[in-house]
Amino acid sequence: MLFLGKEISTPLTLASGILGISFSSLQRVIRDGAGMVTTKSLSIEPRIGHEGPVIAEFDGGLINSVGLTNPGIAEGLEEVEKFKSGIDGVVIVSVFGANAEEFVQLARAVNDSTADILELNLSCPNVEDEFKRPFALMPDKITEIVSAVKAVSKLPVLAKLSPNANDISAIAKLTEAAGADGLTMINTLGHGMVVDAVAKRPVLRNNFGGISGPCIKPLAIKLIHDAYKVVDIPILGTGGVSTGLDAIEMMMAGAAAIGVGSAVYDHGLDVFKSIREEMETFMEVHGYAQYSDLIGILEEN
């Protein structure tokens, strides 16, 4: 099947931030049944991120405050080259900047690499904003960043949206109007806080973090469906998928491909193989010939 003009073996995609950037682990994901991998979000300079613990499990999923730790765009793209020289799989390079100029600089660097798709992580804080709100919640900033990147990018551009936006349909439409070739949705929800009652402290060193995993799946599906109804660009649906049925539900709601993140923590890399096999079984039993037959076929009551 095709996603943004790229041939992919399955719609399954490693979500950003889950396995870092090491090319060998990214290659394993493709061998296990993913069609695409997303790198950790890369910035111009390396970033150390927050002090640990940065990730914790709770009943419904995960909470993390990794703090955008990454080795910087130059080293990240070296890993992409090694990945591409060893395996046939589509690489999405995720980037984040402090302003539109930095996003443009990152897009130019990715232009000169073997990456296939550029993803803009708009959930990083706008350092110029008094309250350091993320770009993904500011419609004018989304328009500014996406249109500036589109003016220079040689690659298709995915804009990654936040579930915290007030009106996702409006955000999806203006992101499409700014020129995005596709949407990735959703990033982590919140922030939330998980407490250790014995220690009388939050479990994360940073006190709060973004929520992911099974508990966000119904929200992800609703937001994807809302966006699907108002845009004509493909959606890389992400949020709480850990089984083949989860992936199928999300595709029926409108996703053209499926990101898998937290499930890798819970079930290991084998989760790609099991999701793919479960999808194939469902499709065979219910008479769907190809993955693309599932996209957006949900009928509302």
Ligand X SMILES: Cc1cc2nc3c(=O)[nH]c(=O)nc-3n(C[C@H](O)[C@H](O)[C@H](O)COP(=O)(O)O)c2cc1C
Q: Judged by CB, which is closer to ligand X: 51, or 284?
A: 51
Instruction: With beta carbons less than 8 A apart as the criterion, state whether 39 and 21 touch.
Output: yes
Enter the tokens of residue 136. 């993904």
* Distance in angstroms (rounded) separating the CA atoms of residues 216 and 63: 11
* Distance in angstroms (rounded) separating the CA atoms of residues 152 and 27: 29
Task: Work out whether 164 is an interface residue with ligand X (CB under 6 A).
Answer: no
Task: Work out whether 41 is an interface residue with ligand X (CB under 6 A).
Answer: yes
CB of 199 to ligand X, least distance (A): 22
Pseudo-torsion of CA 249, 33, 58, 120, nearest 10°?
-80
Counting Cα atoms < 13 Å in the Cβ hemisphere of 7 gives 1
- Footprint of ligand X on residues 195-224 (CB under 6 A)? 212-213, 216
Applying CB under 6 A, the site for ligand X has a residue count of: 26
State how far the alpha carbon of 298 is from the alpha carbons of 3, 279, 290, in Å. 20, 16, 16
Q: Judged by CB, which is closer to ligand X: 48, or 197?
A: 48
Q: Judged by CB, which is closer to ligand X: 40, or 84?
A: 40
* Distance in angstroms (rounded) separating the CA atoms of residues 144 and 138: 10
Note the Cα 267 to chain centre separation in Å.
19
Sign, CA torsion 180/259/171/124: negative
Task: Work out whether 6 is an interface residue with ligand X (CB under 6 A).
Answer: no
Contact letters for ligand X, residues 245-274 (x by CB under 6 A): ---------------xxxx-----------
Of the residues 124, 161, 183, 271, only one is catalytic, namely 124
Task: Work out whether 62 is an interface residue with ligand X (CB under 6 A).
Answer: yes
Q: Judged by CB, which is closer to ligand X: 139, or 210?
A: 210
- Footprint of ligand X on residues 131-160 (CB under 6 A)? 160
Which one of 241, 253, 255, 275 is in contact with ligand X (CB under 6 A)? 241
Q: Judged by CB, which is closer to ligand X: 59, or 299?
A: 59
Task: Work out whether 237 is an interface residue with ligand X (CB under 6 A).
Answer: no
Active site residue 215: no
20 φ, ψ (degrees, to nearest 5)? 65, -140
CB of 212 to ligand X, least distance (A): 3
Task: Work out whether 162 is an interface residue with ligand X (CB under 6 A).
Answer: no
- Geometric angle at alpha carbon 237, from 233 and 243, rounded to 5°: 145
Task: Work out whether 187 is an interface residue with ligand X (CB under 6 A).
Answer: yes
Task: Work out whether 121 is an interface residue with ligand X (CB under 6 A).
Answer: yes
Contact letters for ligand X, residues 13-32 (x by CB under 6 A): --xxx---------------
CB of 292 to ligand X, least distance (A): 22
44 φ, ψ (degrees, to nearest 5)? -65, -50
Which one of 13, 43, 64, 113 is in contact with ligand X (CB under 6 A)? 64
State the residue number with the nearest CB to ligand X: 17
What lies within 8 Å, CB to CB, of 178 at 6+ separation is: 142, 143, 146, 147, 150, 159
Active site residues: 124
